[in-house]
């Protein structure tokens, strides 16, 4: 069991052993902002991670994207899905690579974490236009909101004295501070900063459990999207008590109840088709 707070140097060591896919996703986002970027630059970037490349080809060959003969190379896979869909597809592959094993600290399977992340991301993407937020950034925040859990799990994985999160814990952050010395939201903010994701997204993930008046719109929106995932029965242990879908919260996120209901339906429709893809 970890007795002291987690230091910056300790987290940096964890960052080094995490999959590289999210870092590539961050670079891809920057690359796609450049109108002069082409498929060759995107392909070169994605090829830096053989595991990610293999997952992208697998997703491109899934029933969601399949058209004609199976893609046998990254170039064929990207050509199949289309340039505009490259980021979403890479995001699917990245979250699958990140959560490829059970999180022993939290007592949840990698599949449950992937499902929660994917559904939150799809809700975020659907709500982004109404909230006035970049859809790609909103989607990424949903996908990576639990990055800190993956990191803290890796940190204590070899510590046999570390307890497993009880199923009846109401406040996962309070439990994390007691057991590990850091919350998963704080860990995520540090790691995503190291990976050079946008500051607005990092702040949104950091604050999304309890966004106050000083929190940005993305934090409020991620709070709502996480709540929607929870009400759809794809929530995470220790978080159910956080989510507030009141009119005041919706107003802070610049969305309406109608927006949320529409986004939920849209996200669940896509989710059913995509959940097997990130399995």
| 279 pLDDT above the threshold of 70 | no
Better pLDDT: 215 or 91: 215
| 1 pLDDT above the threshold of 60 | no
| 4 pLDDT above the threshold of 70 | no
> Which domains, from first to last, does the chain contain?
1-18+103-279 (1.10.3210.10), 20-99 (no CATH)
pTM, whole model, 2 decimals? 0.92
Mean pLDDT of the 118-133 span:
97
Task: Give per-residue pLDDT as tens, 40-58.
Answer: 899 999 999 998 888 888 8
Task: Give per-residue pLDDT as tens, 60-69.
Answer: 888 877 777 8
Report d(CA 74, CA 66) in Å as an integer.
14
| 70 pLDDT above the threshold of 80 | yes
Q: Which of 100, 196, 180 is nearest to 148 (CA)?
A: 180
Between 39-46 and 50-60, two packed helices, what is the crossing angle to 10 degrees? 120
| 28 pLDDT above the threshold of 80 | yes
Mean pLDDT of the 261-266 span:
98
Instruction: Say how many C-beta atoms besides its own lie within 10 A of residue 28's C-beta.
Output: 21
What residues form DSSP beta bridges with 103?
108
Ranges of beta strands (E only) in the chain are none
Report d(CA 195, CA 197) in Å as an integer.
6
Mean pLDDT of the 191-203 span:
95
Q: Taking all residues of the chain, what is their mean pLDDT, rounded to a whole number? A: 91
Per-residue confidence band for 38, with pLDDT thresholds at 50, 70 and 90: confident
What residues form DSSP beta bridges with 108?
103
Mean pLDDT of the 219-237 span:
97
pLDDT of residue 193: 95
Mean pLDDT of the 245-249 span:
96
Mean pLDDT of the 89-97 span:
83
Task: Give per-residue pLDDT as tens, 17-27.
Answer: 888 889 999 99
């Amino acid at each position: 069991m970890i007795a002291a707070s987690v230091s910056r140097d300790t987290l940096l060591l964890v960052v080094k052993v995490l999959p590289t896919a999210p870092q590539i996703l961050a670079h891809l986002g920057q690359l796609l902002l450049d109108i002069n970027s082409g498929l060759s630059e995107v392909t070169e970037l994605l090829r830096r991670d053989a595991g990610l490349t293999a997952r992208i080809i697998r997703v491109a060959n899934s029933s969601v994207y399949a058209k004609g003969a199976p893609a046998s190379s990254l170039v064929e896979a990207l050509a199949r899905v289309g340039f505009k869909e490259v980021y979403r597809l890479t995001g699917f592959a990245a979250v699958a690579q990140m959560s490829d094993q059970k999180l022993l600290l939290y007592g949840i399977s990698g599949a449950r974490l992937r499902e929660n992340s994917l559904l939150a991301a799809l809700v975020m993407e659907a709500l982004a236009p109404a909230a006035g937020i970049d859809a790609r950034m909103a989607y990424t925040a949903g996908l990576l909101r639990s990055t800190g859990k993956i990191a803290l799990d890796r940190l204590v994985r070899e510590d046999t004295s570390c307890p497993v999160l009880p199923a009846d814990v109401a406040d996962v952050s309070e439990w994390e501070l007691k057991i590990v010395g850091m919350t998963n939201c704080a860990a995520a903010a540090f790691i995503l900063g190291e990976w050079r994701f946008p500051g607005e997204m990092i702040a949104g993930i950091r604050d999304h459990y309890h966004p106050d008046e000083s929190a940005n719109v993305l934090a409020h929106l991620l709070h709502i999207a996480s709540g929607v995932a929870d009400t759809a029965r794809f929530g995470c242990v220790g978080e159910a008590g956080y989510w507030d879908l009141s009119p005041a919260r919706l107003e802070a996120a610049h969305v309406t109840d109608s927006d949320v209901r529409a986004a939920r339906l849209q996200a669940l429709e896509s989710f059913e088709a995509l959940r097997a893809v990130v399995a």
